[in-house]
C-alpha cells in the first residue's frame, strides 16, 4: 500500500509488523553486526528469511549495510 503523506504510523506498522523484524532490530540494538551473530541470536529463523528481512530493512533505509575490513557487517542508522 501507499501511505506516503497520509499516515506515517500505518507505514511504520507495515514495515515493522513483519514477523522477525522486531527481533532483528533487538539484535541490532544489542550489538549484532554480522549475519552469524543474527543467526545465533535468532536460532529459529532460517538463513533465507533472515536475509530477506535484513534486505527489507536496508531497502527501507532503517539499516545501513557496511563492509567491514574483512567481511560485510550491518549497522543501525
Quick one: pLDDT band at residue 4, thresholds 50, 70, 90?
low
CATH tag, 8-76: 1.10.10.10
* Rounded Cα distance, 76 and 6, in Å: 26
Q: Quick one: cell of 10? A: 500505518
Question: 48, 22, 68: which is closest to 39 by C-alpha?
Answer: 48
Q: Assess contact for 11 and 25: CB atoms under 8 A.
A: no
Domain locations in the chain as residue ranges: 8-76
pLDDT > 90: what percent of the chain? 31
3-state secondary structure of 19: coil
* Rounded Cα distance, 71 and 69, in Å: 6
Q: Assess contact for 17 and 1: CB atoms under 8 A.
A: no
* Residue 39 confidence (pLDDT): 92
pLDDT > 70: what percent of the chain? 75
Amino acid at each position: 500500500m501507499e501511505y506516503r503523506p497520509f499516515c506515517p504510523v500505518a507505514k511504520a506498522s507495515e514495515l515493522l509488523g513483519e514477523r522477525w523484524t522486531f527481533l532483528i532490530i533487538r539484535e541490532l540494538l544489542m550489538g549484532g553486526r554480522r549475519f552469524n551473530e543474527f543467526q545465533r541470536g535468532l536460532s529459529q529463523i532460517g538463513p533465507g528469511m533472515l536475509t530477506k528481512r535484513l534486505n527489507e530493512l536496508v531497502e527501507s533505509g532503517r539499516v545501513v549495510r557496511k563492509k567491514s575490513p574483512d567481511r560485510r557487517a550491518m549497522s543501525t542508522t
